[in-house]
A and B are shown apart, each in its own frame.
Chain A
Amino acid sequence: MLKLRLLPWEYGVRNLFRRPARTGLTLAGLTTVVLLVFVVVAFLRGLDASLAVTGDPSTMLVYSVGAAEDIESSAVPAQLPALLSASLEGIERRYGTDYVSPELYAATRIGVDDDRPKMAVLRGVTPAAPLVRRQVQMTEGRWPQEGEVLAGRLAAAKLGCRPEALAVGNTVTLAGREFRISGRFAAGGAAYESEVWFPLADLQQGMQRQDLSLVAVGLAGEASAAEVQLFCMERVDLGIQAIEETKYYALLQSHYRPVRTLGWVVVCLVAGAGIFAGLNTMYGAVVGRGRELAALQAIGFRRRAVALSLVQEAVLLAAAASLVAALLAVALVHGAAIRFTMSAFALQVDSVTLLIGCGTGLLLGLLGAVPPAVKAMRQPVVEGLKAV
């Protein structure tokens, strides 16, 4: 009889129904905690994913020196693309086209669907853009001609409007001018997905600007990055700098580090509160049961088996809470779009999120049960049998 023989699991289940009100409250509390953990983790996963997939190692961004990592405030001369094409050897060229994408990047209000104008992130592009922005894929419609725009997959989320409002064939208004939506695009979760793309000239006119925000350059080889850097440093008169697109987004990601830290702090605090809910319930569950637990040991159940049964009880409750929270998370949280100043991204209740959330839930049950179980098992059987 070396095997540890356990109490029937009905014992654990039915004990939960012994004090239904308390159990119900704990279940609700734990569910809330686990759901909050799901939301925060889904948020962090979504944020990471949107920044991680953005950026192509063979693409460099050229923008003004004063703009730090803030491309929105960058301004470079309109003739910079031609200058780069002419001066740089290492630019990728195919079928007589240079991989040089002049872009104007702006955040402003646009009119959608007769509603109040909404804040949008706009990018003025030329047909060279998809050459350099390789993640971009048309999902619907066609490339915009003059007077037309392309809507990103998450543009509606960024705008805070219904997705149907940005259906192909609808119009948006910028500076009093109507633009027909000619197509939609996706970019594998990259940050562009929350943008609306205009023909460069149209956006320049709408924003009353003749210059550009940046030039994105596709590189032919490894050494070319250094060449672009060197060019930017030599032409002090242009006031430009160059950075690999991946580095740019890595920098952005590091800007979100406080947000991430805060997120994890929230997870820990909320989980900490959850432990107390579990502890409170399990101490309560054990307190009036001293004699019963002693009797079980007198019958021949090992101390460890009885303690395990108490833990099983709590973990069962925590598992139920995790399950409810997971269902709620998948139904309500997953895919919900979060608006940020310059982009939008979707909350991701993926397998990792589920694992972390449910893991936290079960851990809460475990941590909440172990101290009361240990306390109960410390009491000698003889004393337990005398307890009232």
Chain B
Amino acid sequence: MPLVEIRNLTKQFSKGGETITPLNEVDLTIEPRDFLSLMGPSGSGKSTLLNLLTGIDRPTSGQILVHGTDITRLSRARLADWRAANIGYIFQTHNLIPVLTAYENIELPLLLLPMTAAERRKRIAIALEAVDLTDRADHYPRQLSGGQEQRVGIARAIVANPTIVVADEPTGDLDARTAGHILQLVERLNAELGMTLFVVTHDPQAASVAARRLQLDEGRLVESEAAAPVAALDAGRRRA
């Protein structure tokens, strides 16, 4: 059974009489350990798809089956519980809680799961180790650099060992060098830790590290073939 099955997914927004359809009957299947990147022009609906996949938004029609459960039918509270168990969320701007330390920020998703304190400590230590920030555990976000903050954000997203890790332009706010480090880290999550990743990005280079490259345009989702990196670069040039 595939991990995620998106069927006939449509999302429409109506703004002052005008209807926008960023997603028009989209289908997508995600298998365990898949690494997908999603590109597309600004306003094409990338974030919209990601928001539907994580259940923080609801589709106009269609189904999203995760482990066979249609999450579009869950109540808001159930969806929150479902996210806690299944989704790791990497934001564009880390969205760390400023009054909590790196350690405490990473601990947040674990507080939502039935788990002993010792188990939590162990998992946080592993997550900190994975993002190479063990020595910054007690730092507050304001005491960290942008790249370090994003690494804490990644640790928070993976600490609960979610079914799927999603990222919406995880390197969008970072300089090229730092972005490169973050991309390497994301790649390792998939390659070494076997995590299923779904990354929205503008950056063709970032997209090219993914094994499956998706392109969203005019409400349609297209999966590139082997020549994808070039196509992605082309897309980048056309935009520029």
Task: Give Cα A14–Cα B95 distance, bound, in whole angstroms.
Answer: 17
What 1/0 mask marks residues of chain B from 15 to 54 whose CB sits below 8 Å from any chain A CB?
0000000000000000000000000000000000001001
Say yes or no: is B187 at the interface (Cβ < 8 Å to chain A): no
CB of B51, distance to nearest CB on chain A (Å): 5
Distance in Å: Cβ of A39 to nearest Cβ of chain B: 36
Q: How far is the CB of B96 from chain A (nearest CB, A)?
A: 8
Using Cβ atoms and an 8 Å threshold, which residues of chain A touch B56? 297-298, 380-382, 385
> If the complex has contacts A382-B56, A385-B91, are A296 and B108 also in contact, measured as CB distance less than 8 A?
yes
Return chain A residues, CB-CB under 8 Å to B82.
Answer: 300
Q: Is A94 an interface residue (CB 8 A)?
A: no
CB distance from A293 to the nearest CB of B (A): 10
Contacts known (A14-B100, A382-B56); A301 close to B112, Cβ less than 8 A: yes
Q: A5-B111, A14-B99, A381-B56 are in contact. Are A302 and B156 (CB under 8 A)?
A: no
User: B108 to A299, Cβ gap below 8 A?
Assistant: yes
Residues of B within 8 A of A11 (CB): 97, 99-100
How far is the CB of A213 from the nearest CB of chain B, in Å?
69
The closest CB in chain B to the CB of A384 belongs to: B56
* B54 / chain A contacts, CB cutoff of 8 Å: 298
A302-B98 CB under 8 A given contacts A8-B104, A382-B56:
no
Q: Which residues of A have CB within 8 Å of B97?
A: 11, 292, 295-296
Choice from A7, A14, A18, A382 contacting B57 with Cβ under 8 Å:
A382
Of B82, B98, B99, B156, the most chain A CB neighbours within 10 A belong to B99
By a CB distance below 8 angstroms, the chain A residues around B213 are none
Q: Are A300 and B81 in contact (CB under 8 A)?
A: yes
Complex CA–CA separation, A5 to B85 (angstroms) = 13
Q: Does B109 contact A (CB under 8 A)?
A: yes
Contact with B along A294-320 (1 / 0, CB 8 A): 011111111110000000000000000
Asked if B89 lies at the interface with its beta carbon under 8 angstroms from chain A, I say yes
The answer to the question of B73 belonging to the interface, with a C-beta cut-off of 8 Å to chain A, is no
B contact residues, total (Cβ < 8 Å):
28
What residues of chain A lie closer than 8 Å to B57, measured between beta carbons? 380-382
Question: Interface residues of A: mostly helix, strand, loop or mixed?
Answer: helix
Tell me if A1 is interfacial: C-beta within 8 Å of chain B. Answer: yes
Out of B87, B95, B112, name the residue touching A5 (CB < 8 Å): B112
Asked whether any CB of chain A lies closer than 8 Å to the CB of B84, the reply is yes
Q: Once the chains bind, are A302 and B81 in contact (CB under 8 Å)?
A: yes
Instruction: Contact check, B100 vs A297: say whether CB atoms are below 8 A apart.
Output: no
- Chain A 188-210 interface mask (CB, 8 Å, partner B; 1/0): 00000000000000000000000
Is there a chain B Cβ closer than 8 Å to A109's Cβ? no
CA distance A18 to B97 in the complex (A): 12
Q: Which of A341-388 contact B (CB under 8 A)?
A: 380-382, 385
Given the complex, which residues of A lie within 8 Å of B83, measured CB to CB?
298-300
Is there an interface contact between B91 and A302, defined as CB atoms closer than 8 Å?
A: no
Best-surrounded residue of A8, A291, A385 (most CB of chain B within 10 A) = A385
Could you tell me the distance between the alpha carbons of A18 and B142 in the complex, rounded to whole angstroms?
A: 12
- Taking a contact as CB atoms under 8 Å apart, the answer to whether A298 and B77 are in contact is no
Q: Which residues of B contact A302 (CB under 8 A)?
A: 76-77, 80-81
CB interface residues, B 104-150, toward A, < 8 Å: 104, 107-109, 111-112, 114
**Max chain B CB contacts within 10 Å: which of A7, A292, A300, A385?**
A300
Query: Smallest CB-CB separation from B95: which chain A residue?
Result: A295
- In the bound complex, residues from chain A placing their C-beta under 8 Å from that of B114 are 1
Chain A residues near B84: list those with CB within 8 A: 1, 5, 299-301
Do the beta carbons of A1 and B81 come within 8 Å of each other?
Answer: yes
Alpha-carbon distance between A10 and B156 when the two chains are bound, in angstroms: 18
A325 to chain B, nearest CB (A): 26
- Interchain residue pairs with CB less than 8 A apart (17): A1-B84, A1-B85, A5-B112, A8-B107, A18-B98, A18-B99, A297-B80, A298-B54, A298-B56, A299-B156, A300-B85, A301-B84, A303-B76, A303-B77, A380-B56, A381-B56, A385-B95
Q: Which residues of B contact A (CB under 8 A)?
A: 51, 54, 56-57, 76-77, 80-85, 87, 89, 91, 95, 97-100, 104, 107-109, 111-112, 114, 156
Hey, which bits of chain A sit against chain B, CB under 8 A?
A: 1, 5, 7-8, 10-11, 14-15, 17-18, 291-292, 295-304, 380-382, 385
The 10 A-B pairs of least Cβ separation, nearest first, read A300-B84, A14-B99, A295-B95, A300-B83, A381-B56, A302-B80, A1-B81, A300-B112, A382-B57, A5-B112
